[in-house]
């Protein structure tokens, strides 16, 4: 049963991709994509329930025993990430019913989208380092295709920066894998946990730094984030929503996994470095956003800023801080994907994403204004929305360690996030439209209105639900953090009992 449960979400996404490819000439692909995402969400949820009930689950692919074969393993963090991937995939595939043009469908949008989801899910579930590299590549190549699909000039420009910088990070990651294998002779993550203990500490720290840079580019931390604000505002809105929600978070996840399970021998150096990286990421991201005036570019810089919070949780390396980071990951994926979806509707009814060229949305489309306010305030950390609890836990963890400066930076960055959100609110929603038109939701065909607004409302409802009833979510995050902090259960699930 477990042997089937673990690969199921990946296989479902791949099967959906193949089906969508077979039907790419017609309009059935979009419904296949929606159905496939829904089934994948169900499979992920079953996995999460199982993990919560019985602890980490592992399955050896091809019946090769660990550490020789490829292991798929799900602890609480992995299972939660798979579920949130399913939620994002479902929301975006519903949104794509209206957002993606027939031309892009013919080019194979739904296939690439599902391959991307399969890659993301695989990266969350694998227990093998080289396999993680392969999933990263699956994710990367499909994201390349999605980013430049349509072939507008601005997409080409963005594509070059995105592709080249991500390829550099891939090479660094690959070299790190090679060196780590040379030092330890194993690639299984659980086995590596034991193997690095016997290796030369200095050498392992050097390798850890290669991983830090490799994953740092993927996660878009300071000073490696420049590809992100150059690229995320150019593709279709569905594409940028799923990128914003999931892609950088895979980098953060990989960092959290490697720097709690494998690279923990010199935490004073590696995690001390991460701490300052995290602070610089928070500050530069939010300052970058303040200088922008395009809806999606503001949001892109805020992704960078928010990544800093998650890395901060990892850098502090206490159970509470890790719980904060996990909670932040989940909150951020929901909120950020939602804000990009809202940006898409704004573009449709007001004609632009440059906030100086639009306006009057509050008057013309109060429902949309309300749906923007929820994720925007959640992002800034207003109680009682999900972002408040995420920031609260992280700041509390920093104060527990008496790191007043770090806690202060985290709070100040929260305040500056409000500045950007009110800038969008003031200019795009409150100020009158410079063209003296009143953008209205009723200008959209009824079918499109449903397809666009249902995912936005659903994700907003989820944000409110997490905000009002944080208790069960915090409990799951705490449990995920405890498993990261003390990986005994993970190691036992993969390798069996060890004396």
Binding site for another protein (CB under 8 A): 130, 133-134, 137, 140-141, 144-145, 148, 151, 153-154, 156-161, 163-164, 167-168, 170-171, 174-175, 177-179, 181-182, 229-231, 233-234, 291, 293
- DSSP assignment string, 1-44: -HHHHTTHHHHHHHHHHHHHHHTTTSS-HHHHHHHHHHHHHHHH
62 vs 151, beta carbon nearer another protein: 151
Contacts (Cβ under 8 Å, ≥6 apart) of 66: 58, 60, 127, 188, 190, 191, 494, 495
155 vs 417, beta carbon nearer another protein: 155
182 vs 272, beta carbon nearer another protein: 182
How far apart CA 245 and CA 455 sit, in angstroms, is 14
Handedness of CA 110, 218, 215, 57 (dihedral sign): negative
170 vs 422, beta carbon nearer another protein: 170
Q: How far is the CB of 301 from another protein (least distance, A)?
A: 12
241 vs 406, beta carbon nearer another protein: 241
Identify whether the C-beta of residue 136 lies closer than 8 Å to the C-beta of residue 171: no
Q: How far is the CB of 234 from another protein (least distance, A)?
A: 6
Residue 395: count of CB within 10 angstroms of its CB? 22
Which of 172, 203, 12, 202 lies closest to 89, judged by CA? 12
102 vs 167, beta carbon nearer another protein: 167
How far apart CA 114 and CA 10 sit, in angstroms, is 10
Q: How far is the CB of 359 from another protein (least distance, A)?
A: 19
Q: How far is the CB of 230 from another protein (least distance, A)?
A: 5
Q: How far is the CB of 137 from another protein (least distance, A)?
A: 5
Q: How far is the CB of 95 from another protein (least distance, A)?
A: 23
How far apart CA 393 and CA 323 sit, in angstroms, is 8
65 vs 447, beta carbon nearer another protein: 65
Identify whether the C-beta of residue 193 lies closer than 8 Å to the C-beta of residue 487: yes
Longest CA span, the chain: 75
Which of 64, 40, 174 lies closest to 119, judged by CA? 40
Contacts (Cβ under 8 Å, ≥6 apart) of 47: 5, 6, 8, 9, 57, 74, 79, 82, 83
64 vs 370, beta carbon nearer another protein: 64
Identify whether the C-beta of residue 148 lies closer than 8 Å to the C-beta of residue 185: no
Q: How far is the CB of 62 from another protein (least distance, A)?
A: 14
Q: How far is the CB of 363 from another protein (least distance, A)?
A: 27
182 vs 472, beta carbon nearer another protein: 182
Distance of CA 460 to the CA centre of its chain: 17
Identify whether the C-beta of residue 199 lies closer than 8 Å to the C-beta of residue 184: yes
Residue 392, helix vs strand vs coil:
helix
Q: How far is the CB of 421 from another protein (least distance, A)?
A: 19
Q: How far is the CB of 416 from another protein (least distance, A)?
A: 17
347 vs 440, beta carbon nearer another protein: 347
Q: How far is the CB of 87 from another protein (least distance, A)?
A: 29
427 vs 449, beta carbon nearer another protein: 427
Contacts (Cβ under 8 Å, ≥6 apart) of 428: 295, 346, 350, 355, 358, 359, 361
Length of the chain equals: 499
6 vs 207, beta carbon nearer another protein: 207
Residues 322, 404, 292, CA angle at the centre, nearest 5°? 80
Q: How far is the CB of 158 from another protein (least distance, A)?
A: 4
Q: Checking DSSP bridges between strand 71-74 and strand 57-60, what pairing results, if any?
A: antiparallel
Q: How far is the CB of 247 from another protein (least distance, A)?
A: 16
Residue 261: count of CB within 10 angstroms of its CB? 19
Identify whether the C-beta of residue 349 lies closer than 8 Å to the C-beta of residue 437: no
In the block, residue with structure tokens 């390396």: 317
25 vs 151, beta carbon nearer another protein: 151
How far apart CA 106 and CA 116 sit, in angstroms, is 17
């Amino acid at each position: 049963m477990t042997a089937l449960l673990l690969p199921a979400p990946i296989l479902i996404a791949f099967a959906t991709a193949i089906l969508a490819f077979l039907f790419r000439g017609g309009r059935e692909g979009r419904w296949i994509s929606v159905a496939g995402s829904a089934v994948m969400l169900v499979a992920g949820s079953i996995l999460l329930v199982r993990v919560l009930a019985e602890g980490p689950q592992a399955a050896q692919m091809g019946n090769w025993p660990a550490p020789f074969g490829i292991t798929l393993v799900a602890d609480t963090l992995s299972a939660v990430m798979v579920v949130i991937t399913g939620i994002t995939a479902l929301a975006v595939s519903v949104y794509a019913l209206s957002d993606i043009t027939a031309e892009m469908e013919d080019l194979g949008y739904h296939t690439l989208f599902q391959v991307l989801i399969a890659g993301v899910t695989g990266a969350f579930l694998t227990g093998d380092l080289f396999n993680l590299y392969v999933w990263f590549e699956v994710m990367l190549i499909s994201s390349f295709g999605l980013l430049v699909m349509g072939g507008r000039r601005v997409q080409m420009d963005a594509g070059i920066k995105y592709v080249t910088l991500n390829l550099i990070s891939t090479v660094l990651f690959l070299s790190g894998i090679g060196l780590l294998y040379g030092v330890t002779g194993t690639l299984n993550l659980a086995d590596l946990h034991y193997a690095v203990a016997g290796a030369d500490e200095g050498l392992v720290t050097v390798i850890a730094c290669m991983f830090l840079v490799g994953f740092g580019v993927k996660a878009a931390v300071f000073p490696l984030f420049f590809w992100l604000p150059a690229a995320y505002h150019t593709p279709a809105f569905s594409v940028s929503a799923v990128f914003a929600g999931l892609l950088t978070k895979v980098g953060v996840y990989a960092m959290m996994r490697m720097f709690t399970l494998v690279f923990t021998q010199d935490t004073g150096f590696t995690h001390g470095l991460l701490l300052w990286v995290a602070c610089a990421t928070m500050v530069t991201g939010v300052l970058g956003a303040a200088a922008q005036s395009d809806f999606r570019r503001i949001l892109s810089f805020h992704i960078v800023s928010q990544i800093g919070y998650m890395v901060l949780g990892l850098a502090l390396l206490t159970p509470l801080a890790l719980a904060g980071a996990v909670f932040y990951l989940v909150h951020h994926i929901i909120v950020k994907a939602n804000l990009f979806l809202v940006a898409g509707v704004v573009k449709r009814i007001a004609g632009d994403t440059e906030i100086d060229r639009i306006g009057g949305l509050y008057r013309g489309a109060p429902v949309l204004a309300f749906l923007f306010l929820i994720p925007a305030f959640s992002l800034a950390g207003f109680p009682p929305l999900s972002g408040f609890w995420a920031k609260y836990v992280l700041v509390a963890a920093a104060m527990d360690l008496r790191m007043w400066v770090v806690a202060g930076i985290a709070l100040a960055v929260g305040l500056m996030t409000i500045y950007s959100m009110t800038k969008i609110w003031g200019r795009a929603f409150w100020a009158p439209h410079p063209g003296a038109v009143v953008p209205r939701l009723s200008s959209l065909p009824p079918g499109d209105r449903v397809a666009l607004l249902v995912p936005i409302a659903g994700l907003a409802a989820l944000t409110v639900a997490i905000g009002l009833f944080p208790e069960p979510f915090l409990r799951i995050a705490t449990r995920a953090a405890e498993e990261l902090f003390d990986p005994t259960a993970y190691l036992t699930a993969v390798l069996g009992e060890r004396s």
